[in-house]
Structure 1
Amino acid sequence: MKRRSMMAAALAGLAAGPAAAQGGRSVRLVVPAAPGGAIDIIGRLYAPRLAARTGQNWLVENRAGGNNTIGAAEVARSAPDGQTFLVNADIHLMGSRVTRGLAYDPMADFAPIGRVATAPLLIVGHPEASRARSLAELAAQMRRDPRHYTLSTSGAGSMAHLAAEGLKRRVGAAEAVVAHYRGTAPAINDVVAGNVALMVAPLLSAQPLVQAGRLRAFAVTSPTRSAAAPEVPTVDEAGLPGLHFTLWYAVWAPRGLPAVTAAATAQALREIGAEPEIARRLAEMGADPFTTDTLESFAAFLAEENVRNGRIADEAGIQPE
């Protein structure tokens, strides 16, 4: 009862508006990526709804660059007063593993609030250069001739990068090359052109090319099939059980944010995620709302992901640059 009362008080304090507890200042929702991408779209979906729930003006601020580390560093430096939050993707955890001299610790310097959306990844290949029609055939071909199988990624440290590294090691093709591009579009275009054999790509980006016959889909790297591509088997069904890599998007605050404020914000995110309009808008970008995170469950998830990501990074020899 005491916890519920504190939560209610926190939400009421926020809802009282700028002239109350927050001293008239707007809340900054920092997006560490350029306008128009998935993180930015999600931030702009949630900001006005957070404003409606708190009575404050939530401003989306784009601070792009450095593999999403510039904006994250700004949030890490901010006061934990409920005026600054970060919306970022899974690459947040990889900051110190891909960026030399990072000024913050992705785990220790942030207060985790909760995930807001997830999205599947799709293992795709050029119809001819991939030399296979199924994931089992692809695995055999990769073992036989690993140097033929370059895998493109949208950037170092991305979930697609980790999935590519996980795939090549799982099938016994550690010598396969992983090539980093500046974004999903150039990475997938080189697969379509046949310059690169494979990619683990966001489903939304790859599925139209699969439907057009310009790419071949081998599996989704998630435990269940995607409603957006129900004909594509999961990695479990296709013969590589447990090779699960899912894009996810979440909200953090600076370390030291009061627990009551953090819990109230997490509750607001869950309520927003349950809105049908949010589900519809996320579906348009190949994602699903995530509405079950508590502070405790998100923190536990981050700890597990950080260990797994570290293991993959070590095995792949990923070094900060």
Structure 2
Amino acid sequence: MRIPRRALAASLIPLLPRAARAQRRTVRLVVPAAPGGAIDVIGRIYAPRLGDALEQNWVVENRSGANNTLGAAEVARAAPDGTTLLVNADIHLMARRVMRAVPYDPVADFTPVARLATAPMVLVGNPRTTPEGGVPALVAAMRARPEAFPFANSALGAMGHLATESFKQKAGVDSLVVSYRGTAPAITDVLSGNAALMVAPLGSALPHIEAGRLRAFAVMGPRRSDRAPAIPTIGEGGMPGLDFTLWYAVWGPRGLPAAEADRLNAAIQALARDPDIRARIAEGGAEPVAEDRAAFARFIEAEAERNARIAQVAGIQPE
């Protein structure tokens, strides 16, 4: 039976969008952490919308392990053609300062594309083992008995680790810092009383603060958080200059063409202003960032220099 040409054309119309999608270029967004964490969640919020905006198929792949270095190493080895990208957090810059034999340079072997979001951190304690009275009362108690106030830390070299070491230095105390494999187990030990203190992501700590299971001492930044306006800043507690904010970003391999990186950056900036993206990022306690590649590169340079100073003063060594 011969099908009329007009009928044949009409029957193919529903197939065109699917066929067009099949012809799109696939982009792998490598998450060097386990599913469900902040890096993974933020990456998965942006990925499908970036795919639509750039007319590509974006696929999120988790390659966790070795303090986020396994996935990052895979991207460092990839061809700089825009089909393999990395989404990671601030810990990316600390790779060689906390681990031996990392097979890449966190700065030189990557092309910075864009920051995606930032999130405040908060100094919290177990209410059964830490004093009332805010930061001044805590510092006084720690100076009297530093061994009674061990810190839990989500990962060696993470932003919380840097904030903790800087807080200790400014307070003039030498409390123990114990590193865990992630934020959740670290907070769990503070809740149980095995650790007294932690500098934690506000989004992870806030439900426990609101339930009275954690005592909030200060936001580790220059301004209070809109999500928890009652928590004072660390500067208000008498310790200005301790500005430690989590951040999440996208990198490509070294050699990614500037035109491709600029195109990606422009798409990310546009989405950072999208009400739906902003609302979904805010649900996790973060805030989208819209900045060009030059601003991101300057930010990385400043962060790397600060991290190096903190690591040296704190005696952080590769393990």
Settle same-fold status: TM greater than 0.5.
yes
Q: Offset at 1:84?
A: 1.1
Q: Deviations over 1:277-315 (max 9, x none)?
A: 111111111111111x21111111101101111111111
Counterpart residue number, 2:271: 272
Q: Offset at 1:211?
A: 1.3
Cα separation, 1, equivalents of 2:260 and 2:274? 22
Counterpart residue number, 1:13: none
Q: Offset at 1:131?
A: 2.6
Cα separation, 2, equivalents of 1:282 and 1:47? 13
Q: Identity of paired residues, percent?
A: 57
Cα separation, 1, equivalents of 2:107 and 2:22? 30
Q: Deviations over 1:82-117 (max 9, x none)?
A: 111110000000111111100000010000011110
Cα separation, 2, equivalents of 1:18 and 1:319? 48
Counterpart residue number, 1:316: 314
Residues 10-89 of structure 1 mapped to structure 2, 5 A cutoff? 25-89=25-89
Q: Offset at 1:189?
A: 1.4
Q: Offset at 1:18?
A: 7.8
Q: Offset at 1:193?
A: 1.4
Residue 246 of structure 1 pairs with residue 239 of structure 2: no
Cα separation, 2, equivalents of 1:242 and 1:219? 13
How many residue pairs are counted as aligned between the two chains?
300
Q: Offset at 1:238?
A: 1.6
Q: Deviations over 1:54-88 (max 9, x none)?
A: 11101111111111100000000011111111100
Counterpart residue number, 1:179: 178
Counterpart residue number, 1:139: 139
Cα separation, 2, equivalents of 1:231 and 1:294? 33
Counterpart residue number, 1:231: 230
Cα separation, 1, equivalents of 2:132 and 2:147? 15
Residues 137-216 of structure 1 mapped to structure 2, 5 A cutoff? 137-173=137-173, 175-216=174-215
Identify the match of residue 306 of structure 1 among 304, 307, 313.
Answer: 304
Partner-residue secondary structure (3-state), 2:114: strand
Cα separation, 2, equivalents of 1:195 and 1:83? 45
Counterpart residue number, 2:12: none
- Structure 1 stretch 129-138 or stretch 85-94: which is displaced more? 129-138
Counterpart residue number, 1:90: 90
Task: Kindly indicate whether the alpha-carbon contact (under 8 Å) linking 1:124 and 1:216 is maintained by their aligned counterparts in 2.
Answer: yes
Larger radius of gyration: 2
Cα separation, 1, equivalents of 2:25 and 2:65? 26
Counterpart residue number, 1:7: none
Counterpart residue number, 1:4: none
Task: Kindly indicate whether the alpha-carbon contact (under 8 Å) linking 1:168 and 1:176 is maintained by their aligned counterparts in 2.
Answer: yes
Q: Deviations over 1:99-142 (max 9, x none)?
A: 11000000100000111100000100111311342111111222
Matched residue type, 1:29: L
Task: Kindly indicate whether the alpha-carbon contact (under 8 Å) linking 1:152 and 1:196 is maintained by their aligned counterparts in 2.
Answer: yes
Counterpart residue number, 1:104: 104
Counterpart residue number, 1:287: 286
Cα separation, 2, equivalents of 1:267 and 1:314? 36
Cα separation, 2, equivalents of 1:168 and 1:94? 19
Q: Offset at 1:25?
A: 3.9
Counterpart residue number, 2:294: 296
Matched residue type, 1:289: P
Cα separation, 1, equivalents of 2:138 and 2:126? 12
Task: Kindly indicate whether the alpha-carbon contact (under 8 Å) linking 1:121 and 1:220 is maintained by their aligned counterparts in 2.
Answer: yes
Partner-residue secondary structure (3-state), 2:236: helix
Q: Offset at 1:17?
A: 8.0
Partner-residue secondary structure (3-state), 2:247: strand
Matched residue type, 1:260: A
CA root-mean-square deviation: 1.4
Cα separation, 1, equivalents of 2:28 and 2:242? 36
Q: Which runs of 5 or more structure 1 residues have no equivalent in the other structure?
A: 1-15
Query: Taking structure 1 as the reference length, what is the TM-score of the superposition?
Result: 0.91
Task: Kindly indicate whether the alpha-carbon contact (under 8 Å) linking 1:132 and 1:141 is maintained by their aligned counterparts in 2.
Answer: no
Cα separation, 2, equivalents of 1:128 and 1:25? 55
Counterpart residue number, 2:9: none
Task: Kindly indicate whether the alpha-carbon contact (under 8 Å) linking 1:122 and 1:202 is maintained by their aligned counterparts in 2.
Answer: yes
Cα separation, 1, equivalents of 2:67 and 2:95? 7
Deviation above 4 Å: which 4+ runs of structure 1? 16-19
Cα separation, 1, equivalents of 2:189 and 2:31? 28
Matched residue type, 1:78: A
Query: Taking structure 2 as the reference length, what is the TM-score of the superposition?
Result: 0.91
Q: Offset at 1:241?
A: 0.8
Matched residue type, 2:303: E
Matched residue type, 1:296: A
Cα separation, 2, equivalents of 1:172 and 1:128? 23
